[in-house]
C-alpha cells in the first residue's frame, strides 16, 4: 500500500505558449478525483501506467474543457511513491490553469514548490542529493551542469557518500559495542578504529577535492577584466564576446559602469566583466566612481585578467580586494610592437584587435584554475553538500586526534556520532524539517 499524503496538484510545465502542458496530481484520492474530471472509453484504473485518450470535463455540467491524455500511476511504484497521475493536455496561457482549477474544485490542494519531489524523498524514492539533482537538471545552463546533475540523479554521489557513511557507522557500532559491554578497551581496538577513521577521513577529503576541482563546472566562473585606462579591456571584452557590446575609444576613462556578459569557455559558463580603468591619480568624479565599482568586481572574481598595454606598460595599483584571488597578467596590443626593438616581456601576449592569442588566453585561464581539458567530472557536490561534508570531515579529524592522543574512547564516540550525522545530511539519511525547507524552497512549482 502506498503511503499517501493529502491530494496535491500543480501545472508542471512552464507557463505561456506551448503545444502541450502537464498537470500533475498525487496523494490520497488521486484516481477518484481524476475520474471525475477525465472521461475516456478505456478505464484508467484497469490500464495503469498507460496513456489513455479522453476529455477533460467540468463535472458540474459535463462540458468539455480540453482533449487530453491521462495516465494513472498507482503507488508505491510512482515518482512520488504515492498514487499519482498526469494529464497531458493543450498548452498555452489558459487551458492548463483551467484543468488545474477543476482538480482544485474537486478537493485537491495546490502543491508547494518542490512538493512532488519532497514526497519522493520522504517515501524513499530518491535520496536528498538526488532530489536536489532534479531541481539542478531543470536549472542547468550549461552542458557541464546538466551532466553533473544527471550523474547525481543516477546516484553517483549517493553511492560514494553511502559507502563512506556505512564504513564510519560500522566503526561506530564496534566502538559502542565495546563501550556498552564495558569490555576491555585494548590497544588493538584503538588501532583498528583509528585505521578505519583515517581511511574514512581520506575519502571525505577526496570528496572535498572533487568539489574544489569541479565547482566551476557547476557554478560557472566570474572573470573580471582589469587594467589601466586604454589597456584595451573593452576591446578584449568585445573580442571574447564576438560582439561590439562595450564602447571602445582612445580616450582614457571610457568605461565607467561595469558591463557583464555570459560566454562559454570549453564546457564552463563564464561571466565576463569589463571594468573602468584603474589609475592612481587623475580622473573626474564619475571615473572615480567607476573605479570603485571595478575594485568591487575584482573582489568578487574567480579570476582577474590584468591587462597591460605593450605600448604603454603602466602598472595598475594592486587593490586589496584582489589579494588572494588568482590573477593572470596579459600583455595586449602585440600588433603594435615589433620584436626588432628588443624582446617583449615574458608572459601571455595577445592582440584584442586582431584576436591573436585569445585561444591561448582562455586555455591559460582555465589551466590556472585547475580546469583541465574538456572532461566534465561525474561527481561535484553542491554548496550545501560541500558544507555538510566539510563539517563531517572536521569532526572526524577531531575524533582521530582525540583517539590518537589517548583520550577516553567515549569522546571519540561522541565526535564520530556528530560526524556521521553531518554526513548523513548529504543524502538525507539524517534530516530535519529545516533542512528539507532549505532544500525544497529552491524548487519551482509543479516539480
Ligand X SMILES: Nc1nc2c(ncn2[C@@H]2O[C@H](COP(=O)(O)OP(=O)(O)OP(=O)(O)O)[C@@H](O)[C@H]2O)c(=O)[nH]1
Asked whether position 232 contacts ligand X by CB under 6 A, the answer is yes
Q: Which of 234, 382, 392, 419 binds ligand X (CB under 6 A)?
A: 234
Provide the grid cell at 121. Answer: 524523498
CB of 305 to ligand X, least distance (A): 11
Q: Candidates 121-129, 165-173, 182-190, 249-257 — which segment interacts with Mg ion by CB under 5 A?
A: 249-257
- Label residues 226-265 b or e (16+ Cβ within 10 Å = b): bbbbbbbbbbbbbbbbeeebbebeeeebbbbebbebebeb
Per-residue contact flags (x/-) with ligand X for residues 145 to 174, judged by CB under 6 A: ------------------------------
SS3 414: helix
Cα–Cα distance for residue pair 80/407, rounded to 1 Å: 47
Complex with ligand X: residue 147 or 308, whichever CB lies closer: 308
Give me the sign of the Cα torsion angle 323, 325, 331, 333: negative
Q: Which of 83, 136, 235, 386 binds ligand X (CB under 6 A)?
A: 235
Work out the angle at residue 318's Cα, subtended by the Cα atoms of residues 314 and 321, and round it to the nearest 5 degrees.
150
Residues 309-338 close enough to bind ligand X by CB under 6 A = 332-333, 335-336
Complex with ligand X: residue 329 or 398, whichever CB lies closer: 329
- Nearest alpha-carbon partner for 216 in 271, 168, 281: 271
- Nearest alpha-carbon partner for 245 in 222, 226, 261, 221: 261
Q: What share of the chain is helix, strand, coil (3-state, %, to 5)?
A: 45, 15, 40
336 binds, among Mg ion, ligand X, none (CB under 5 to 8 A by kind): ligand X
CB-CB contact of 131 with 121 (8 Å): yes
Asked whether position 224 contacts ligand X by CB under 6 A, the answer is no
Complex with ligand X: residue 233 or 306, whichever CB lies closer: 233
Tell me how many residues contact Mg ion (CB under 5 A).
4
253 binds, among Mg ion, ligand X, none (CB under 5 to 8 A by kind): ligand X
Tell me how many residues contact ligand X (CB under 6 A).
24
Per-residue contact flags (x/-) with ligand X for residues 28 to 57, judged by CB under 6 A: ------------------------------
- Would residue 286 be called left, alpha or beta, if left means φ above 0 and alpha means ψ between -120 and 50 degrees? alpha
Q: Candidates 233-241, 361-369, 371-379, 388-396 — which segment interacts with ligand X by CB under 6 A?
A: 233-241
84 binds, among ligand X, Mg ion, none (CB under 5 to 8 A by kind): none
Residues 272-291 close enough to bind ligand X by CB under 6 A = 276-277
SS3 327: strand
Asked whether position 255 contacts Mg ion by CB under 5 A, the answer is yes
Complex with ligand X: residue 152 or 254, whichever CB lies closer: 254
Complex with Mg ion: residue 214 or 232, whichever CB lies closer: 232
Provide the grid cell at 431. Answer: 534530516
Q: Does the N-terminal peptide bond of residue 76 adopt cis geometry, omega within 30 degrees of 0?
A: yes
Cα–Cα distance for residue pair 435/422, rounded to 1 Å: 11
Cα–Cα distance for residue pair 252/234, rounded to 1 Å: 11
Asked whether position 380 contacts ligand X by CB under 6 A, the answer is no
Q: Which of 78, 117, 123, 230 binds ligand X (CB under 6 A)?
A: 230
Angstrom distances, CA of residue 426 to CA of 41, 76, 318, 367, 439: 47, 24, 40, 30, 11
Q: Candidates 3-11, 158-166, 249-257, 418-426 — which segment interacts with ligand X by CB under 6 A?
A: 249-257
CB of 312 to ligand X, least distance (A): 10
Residues 207-246 close enough to bind Mg ion by CB under 5 A = 233-234
Complex with Mg ion: residue 221 or 248, whichever CB lies closer: 248
Burial class (CB in 10 A: 0-12, 13-18, 19+), 221: buried
Provide the grid cell at 325. Answer: 584571488
User: Distance between alpha carbon 210 and the CA centroid of its chain, in Å?
Assistant: 14
Q: Candidates 2-10, 253-261, 315-323, 393-401 — which segment interacts with ligand X by CB under 6 A?
A: 253-261
Asked whether position 248 contacts ligand X by CB under 6 A, the answer is yes
CB-CB contact of 325 with 301 (8 Å): yes
Cα–Cα distance for residue pair 189/171, rounded to 1 Å: 10
Complex with Mg ion: residue 218 or 306, whichever CB lies closer: 306
List contacts with ligand X (CB under 6 A). Answer: 227, 229-235, 248-250, 252-255, 276-277, 332-333, 335-336, 351-353
List contacts with Mg ion (CB under 5 A). Answer: 233-234, 254-255
Amino acid at each position: 500500500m502506498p503511503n499517501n499524503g493529502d491530494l496535491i496538484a500543480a501545472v508542471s510545465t512552464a507557463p505561456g505558449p506551448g503545444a502541450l502542458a502537464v498537470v500533475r496530481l498525487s496523494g490520497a484520492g488521486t484516481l477518484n478525483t481524476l475520474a471525475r474530471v477525465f472521461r475516456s472509453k478505456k478505464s484508467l484504473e484497469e490500464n495503469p501506467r498507460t496513456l489513455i485518450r479522453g476529455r477533460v470535463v467540468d463535472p458540474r455540467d459535463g462540458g468539455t474543457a480540453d482533449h487530453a491524455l491521462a495516465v494513472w500511476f498507482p503507488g508505491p511504484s510512482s515518482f512520488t511513491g504515492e498514487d499519482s497521475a498526469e494529464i497531458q493536455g493543450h498548452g498555452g496561457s489558459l487551458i492548463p490553469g483551467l484543468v488545474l482549477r477543476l482538480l482544485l474544485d474537486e478537493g485537491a490542494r495546490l502543491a508547494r514548490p518542490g512538493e512532488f519531489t519532497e514526497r519522493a524523498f520522504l517515501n524513499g524514492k530518491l535520496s536528498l542529493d538526488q532530489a536536489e539533482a532534479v531541481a539542478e537538471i531543470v536549472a542547468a545552463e550549461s552542458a557541464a551542469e546538466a551532466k553533473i546533475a544527471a550523474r547525481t540523479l543516477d546516484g553517483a554521489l549517493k553511492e560514494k557518500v553511502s559507502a563512506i557513511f556505512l564504513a564510519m557507522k560500522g566503526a561506530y557500532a564496534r566502538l559502542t559495542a565495546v563501550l556498552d559491554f564495558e569490555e576491555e578497551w585494548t590497544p588493538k581496538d584503538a588501532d583498528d578504529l583509528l585505521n578505519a577513521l583515517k581511511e574514512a577521513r581520506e575519502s571525505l577529503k577526496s570528496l572535498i577535492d572533487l568539489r574544489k576541482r569541479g565547482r566551476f563546472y557547476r557554478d560557472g566562473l566570474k572573470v573580471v577584466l582589469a587594467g589601466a585606462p586604454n589597456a584595451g579591456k573593452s576591446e578584449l571584452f568585445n573580442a571574447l564576446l564576438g560582439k561590439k557590446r562595450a564602447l571602445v575609444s582612445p580616450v582614457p576613462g571610457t568605461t565607467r559602469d561595469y558591463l557583464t556578459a555570459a560566454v562559454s569557455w570549453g564546457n564552463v559558463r563564464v561571466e565576463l566583466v569589463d571594468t573602468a580603468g584603474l589609475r592612481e591619480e587623475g580622473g573626474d568624479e564619475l571615473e572615480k566612481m567607476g573605479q570603485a565599482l571595478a575594485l568591487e568586481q575584482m573582489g568578487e572574481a574567480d579570476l582577474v585578467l590584468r591587462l597591460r598595454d605593450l605600448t604603454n606598460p603602466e602598472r595598475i595599483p594592486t587593490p586589496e580586494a584582489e589579494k588572494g584571488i588568482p590573477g593572470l597578467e596579459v600583455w595586449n596590443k602585440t600588433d603594435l610592437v615589433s620584436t626588432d626593438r628588443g624582446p617583449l616581456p615574458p608572459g601571455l601576449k595577445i592582440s584584442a584587435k586582431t584576436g591573436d592569442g585569445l585561444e591561448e588566453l582562455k586555455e591559460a585561464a582555465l589551466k590556472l584554475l585547475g580546469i583541465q581539458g574538456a572532461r566534465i567530472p561525474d561527481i561535484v557536490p553542491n554548496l550545501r553538500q560541500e558544507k555538510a561534508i566539510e563539517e563531517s570531515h572536521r569532526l572526524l579529524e577531531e575524533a582521530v586526534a582525540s583517539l590518537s592522543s589517548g583520550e577516553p574512547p567515549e569522546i571519540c564516540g561522541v565526535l564520530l556520532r556528530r560526524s556521521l550525522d553531518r554526513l548523513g545530511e548529504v543524502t538525507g539519511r539524517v534530516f530535519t524539517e529545516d533542512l528539507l525547507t532549505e532544500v525544497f524552497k529552491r524548487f519551482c512549482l509543479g516539480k
